[in-house]
Each structure stands twice: as structure tokens, then as C-alpha cells.
Amino acid sequence: MPKLVKTKVENEGRVTEEYAWVEEPKTTPWDVEEELRVVGKPIARVDGVERVTGAAKYTTDIQLPRMVHGNYVRSPHPHARIVSIDTSEAEKIAGVRGIIHSKNIANFANVANIRFANHRDFFNDPVRFVGDEVAAVFADSMEIARAAAQKIRIEYELLPFVLDAEAAAQPDAPQLTQNGNLVDGKPSTYARGDVEKGFADAAVIVEGVFTTGAQVHSALETHSSVAEWDGKTMTIYESSQDVVGVQNRVAKLLNLDAARVRVIASYIGGAFGAKFGAGKFTLLGALMSNKLRRPVRFVLDRKGEQIAAGQRSATKQYLKLGAKKDGTLTAIQLTNYNNVGAYASWNPYTEGPARELYACENVQTTSYGVFTNTPPFAAFRAPGFVEGIFALEALMDELAAKLKMDPLALRMKNYSSVFPENGRGYTSNGLLDAYQEGARAIGWEEKKNGKRETRNEKRETRNGIRRGIGMASQIWYGAGAPPSFAIVKISTDASATILTATQDLGTGTKTILCQIAAEELGFPIERIDVEIADTQAGPFAGASGGSMTASSIGPAVREAAADARQQLTQIAATILKKRAKEIRIENGIVKTRDSEKSVAEILKEIDNMQILGHGSRNPNPSEYEIRTFGAQFVEVAVDVETGEVRVERVVASHDSGRILNPLTVSSQIEGGVLQSMGFALMEQRVLDANGASLNANLEGYHIPTIADTPKIETHMIDRADPLANNLGVKGVGEPPIIPTAGAIANAIYDAIGVRFYDAPITRDKVLDALERMERGD
């Protein structure tokens, strides 16, 4: 019988407790060296045709009869109390169906029943940033909704505001919340050993102050939902990473049973961490649909998306490292300020790399998550770690230079075979392999060390271009966790369907789940279908994020497929008059020592009997730590006349356990590298003196395009981790974004001899640095 236990789930620096069923597993991990038939093969996406032909329906494609459209009215002020709201002129416009704001929302719902975890209400009063939602207008067309929004008259009482995180952390700063400006009311602190003694023992000490800018998610499909109430069921079409979370929140708002709320997220046009749970726009749309008995479409425009849907926090990091003459780290000390903007429910784990990556006995970190009157924080692909690695790996290179050591050798010197915080072993650790494979692939020894001897201190310029090479390390989570459940249904035509409520964010989840089921069932992959991201179609699965999807729902799908195969084997044994252990199923054929019959032929014998296999995700091993590891090596070309930095080549070597599909993995690697390139070189949100965004679009806010794309080589350490789960897999969604920016910064230093402490490293900063270097400043 299954046993209900409480298990700890750790991800992104946060530890939560979840209940999970523990039952006798139906599968054992595949052998580390086992050659599998379907898993591990570069199979094209099962929904690829729909995606490239336009047949795939995203939330923004949903058009229903009699649809009403929602539009926000946003604050023009960074911090202000709302004195009055006059909607009388707007309500006179033909086609306006309703206006909701802080003064009347209680007429629509029991707002006390809904609280947002990030200090956010449906409509906050006072407003806390330029772009904060003040009212929502619903009308027969978006044009009417926008025209009505212009007619709403709002009187504000302006309040003092603060934009800088370090300034906001001071006692005399304007206060955004009743509990002050710090997330959780205090900084997050950590210490092991004696950091002061560590610095006293150091032969060499390096320190620096690093800043990183806010990075906006910029998903091509903005936050969007369509709500339709038919009098019995509320159907929500949502671009979401968490359909069950949306279902639960909408059900609570409308006082409905969860079974009467259906959430569908068939295709998602980018999320990157910003689309967890039900957004305010979703809940407001559901409220209005419930009132009007008409479908309501609420899609953020591009400006609203860039301003209010979330961002990677800007940071300021005071980092200090100490080491012995042989390179052994003796102390790491970090104080960082995360600018979480107007709203946040947690403080990004920027100190994670300093605490976890290297073997160092003496570590001290203090992390401030600070509210400011700027756009709000939302999780963004490895939140905190991208920023933390940028600083840590730059200073590691600076330390290597002072020690006259190879930067790679310094990192290998401080490699930790156990988790530095508690001494526990890892289920697997491929970091040294990633170092060696990446260095080999890029020719590190020759390019970094051999050529440096010939050019010595004078860096060579050819046609105005100087070239350099750099690298950086990566550590991240990716263990996956319970609870997640799956059903595998085998029909009498010998096809199988996977049912689960997980999501595919565009990462290829549907494809790898089909591969897992095909492998375990012994079916051709063409005979496997998958229905996901629909709360009525499949059982519970966790949210998709934190590099946890494949390693959470994948093991449950394998368990369900094994259960279905066992039932099919028993049926075949009965029909063929054989013992079950004599039966094997290969590529849709039931084989015994002396006969072969297709699965379809076997199932014809049982008429309409259907096979339903059930599977769940068991807890992670408590005696080990599960992490992903990696390293990236980068070559850049710097134009000393224009300041342009071109990334020419990236070698990405990562350990994420068993590779389920090399094609989907390489897509993840390439996407992560490009997003980190944007963070390193070009993505710069510009605010004016009042905190208003001046480039809330995709023209002024530059993200990498195909013209910026370098040669990206994926070198995975394809080694299963059987202690982690029954697939031996770890997450791969976030690892590739973590080291790229740090590696780029180190390569720029190698090219021009200037260390940059501020990201993004834009052309003007490069030119200014070169000019100062020429002057001898």
C-alpha cells in the first residue's frame, strides 16, 4: 500500500515541504551504460509540425463568440495614494461592459479570500511603481477598452519614492510596506567557518563591487488568458507554467469546486519563470466572465508585459576572496543587494554560487532583498545564480591573475567532491568532466596559455579587432521532486496515450514523455500520444520551472508505462497460454521463445477492455544532494574602434544526468546561452528619474537576434544519475544560462585587458574603458 510522507523539496535556494505518496517502485533505474531503443535518441518534436505550420493554438489565438476584452489603466507615478477614481465618463461609452478598481472590487468578489504572496493586491493603494495597475476596463473590443481607459479620471496624492536598492535598505528611506523595505523584514545571512581568520590566512586577497542590470523576460507571447463561464464550468485558456495553480486560485476566487474550473495551456510562447500561477489579469477576467456570462480575453500589450510582468533583479554585490599561494580558497565574503522592485514574495538566491560552488571552509554571505519603486521581480531562469556567477567567476579570474595561475587550474584546485554546506555526497558530479571536455573542445591550453606567452602583456590588434577567450563554471538544482502523477492508457488499437497535467513551455516536454513511455512499453514512438496542460485531461503534476519538469513528471510517466506494460504482459500471457516472465514486448510486437504476435492482435482478443497504468513520482534520496554542473568556454572579438563585442564561439559542457533527447537538450543549451549573452552585453532596461521605463518595447530593449548568434557547441556529460530517479535524469532548462555572462566578461578581459564589474557590457562602456586605459587612468 502507498504511504503518505512529508518530504523536503529544495530549489532556487528555497526549501518547502510537500506531501508525497511513497510506493514500491515498478521500475529500477536503467543501467548507466545501457543503450536504450528510444530514450537518448535525437527524435524530432512530436508537435513540431503544428508549431511550424501555425496549426498550434496559443492562448492569444483563442477567439470566441461575443468576446469581451480587458485592458489596464496604469499609474503614471512611482509612489502615490489614490484619492479618487471617477469612471462616469468612461462608463458612458457604448460597448463598455465593466470597470473594476480598488474602490469597487468588493462588489465583484470577496477580495479577502484572495491574497497574493508578493505583497500585491488586485489594485494596490498606494501604487508602488510607474505602471502599477489602477483599474481594469472591459469592453466589446480592445479599441473601446483603450478609449474608455483614457476617460477615467484619477486623483493621486504623491508620496516619496526610492529607486536604488542599497538606498532603499537604509532606515530613513521611503517605506513601501508596513514591514519596511526588506523581503521577510530582514536580510538572509549564512556563515560557515571563520571568514576573518580565512582572510588573515590568505596570501592573496581580491575584492570588487559588481552591478548587474534588470533583465526583462520579453517572452514573445505576452501574459494572456481567456475565461469562459457557461453557468456550470469556468474554462480558462492560459499561457501558464502552472495550470493546477491557476485552477486552484480561480476556484477559490469564485467559490467553486476545483472540478468546475478547467485550465488549458496547450502551447506557451515563452515563460522563463514569469508565468507561475494565476495572474491578476486572469482572475479579473474570470470575475467579469462570471458576471457577464460572456468569454473575456485579457492579453497584456507589449508595454505592459515589459513593465509589469516581472524581471530579473538588478543587483549590487560586494565580493571578496582570499587564497593561499597555491590557489586554495581560504575565504569568501559577499554582501549583495537584490532590487526586487515594488513586489516580490522571496529574495533571489544571488549568494548561491558563493555558498555552493567551491570548496572553501570560511564563507559568509549577507543578502538583502529590497523593495523599491521600480517594476516588480519575477523568477527568471536561474534567478540569482546568473548574477552571482557573473561576479564570482570574474573575481576568480582576477584571483588567478594575481596568483599567476591558469584560471581553469584555479577552479579545478577548488573543486568540491561533496556539498560544501553540509559535507553530504552528491548523487553525481560531472564538473571535472565538464571542465576537461570544454577545455579540450575549445583548445584552451593552446589559446589561453600558449598564445599568451607570445603576445605577453601587449594584446594583438588586427583590423581593429582584439580576440580573447574566457570560461566560467555552473552549479544549479534540477533534481525534480514529488508530487507528480501520470496515467498511460493503452487502447485496443495498440496505441497509447499519456495523461498528465504538466506543461510544455516549448522545451520539448511532450516529446521526451513520449520517448519515456515508448521505451518502457516497448512500443514504436509513433504509437504514443500525449495530452498535457489540461486540468480535466490528466492527474496532478507540479509547476514547470526550476529545471524540474523532466525530472519530476518523467519518472512518474515511466512508472505509469511500467504499470500498463505489466498489465499488457499478463493479458498476453493469458491469451498465449504462457507465463508472464516468458513474454517480452519489442517495438509493438509481443514475443515469446516460439511465437510473435502484434500488440494489436493481442488486444483484439479482449474487445473493449482498456489498460490504465498509473504512476507517481517518489521522493528524492534524503542522504544525498542533487545538483547539475557545467562549464562554458567562450571566444570573443572586440572592435576597439566601435566598442562592439561579438561572441564568436561558445562551448557548453554540462552534466545533467542521462540525456533523454539530444535535440531538445541542444535547444535548451542554445536558448540559455543566447539569453545570457543578452544579459551580458545588451539587455538594458532604462528608467528615468521617476522610475518610468523608457524602452518598454522590443525596439529599444535589445535582445539577441539570429544576427548575434555565435557558433554554439553542446558537449553534454551524458552519464545517468541512477541515485536521483528512475530515469537517471537531472534538469537542463536553467544550467546553460548561468555561466555564459561570466565567461564573456572574462574573455573580454583576455582580449583588451580591462575588467568589467558592471553588466551589461555595452559598447559605450567598452569605449570608455579603452579610453581610460589609453590615458593611464
Active-site annotation, residues: 734
What letter would DSSP give residue 122? S
> In Å, how far are 290, 338, 533, 700, 748 from 274, measured between CA atoms?
26, 17, 17, 21, 31
CB 499 within 8 A of CB 489: yes
CA angle 586, 590, 591 (to 5 degrees): 85
- Return the exposure string of 455-487: e unless at least 16 CB atoms fall within 10 Å of the residue's CB, then b: eeeebeeeeebbbbbbbbbbbbbbbbbbbbbbb
Quote the CA–CA distance of 511 and 522 in Å, as a whole number.
16
User: Rg of the chain's alpha carbons, rounded to an integer?
Assistant: 27
CB 211 within 8 A of CB 315: yes
CB 764 within 8 A of CB 682: no
- Whether the CA torsion 272, 276, 280, 285 is positive or negative: it is positive
DSSP helix/strand/coil, 491: coil
Number of helices and strands (H, E) in the chain?
20, 30
The contacts of residue 318 (CB under 8 Å, 6+ apart) are 207, 209, 334, 335, 336
Cell numbers standing for residue 139: 469592453
> In Å, how far are 244, 547, 660, 716 from 514, measured between CA atoms?
22, 19, 11, 22
CB 715 within 8 A of CB 652: yes
Quote the CA–CA distance of 618 and 484 in Å, as a whole number.
9
The contacts of residue 171 (CB under 8 Å, 6+ apart) are none
Closest C-alpha among 428, 430, 519 to residue 479: 428
Cell numbers standing for residue 589: 510486437
> In Å, how far are 497, 587, 604, 605, 606 from 609, measured between CA atoms?
15, 22, 9, 9, 6
Phi-psi region of 607 (alpha: psi -120 to 50; beta: other; left: phi over 0): left
Residue 531: Cβ-neighbour burial (10 angstroms; 0-12, 13-18, 19+): middle
CA angle 431, 435, 437 (to 5 degrees): 110
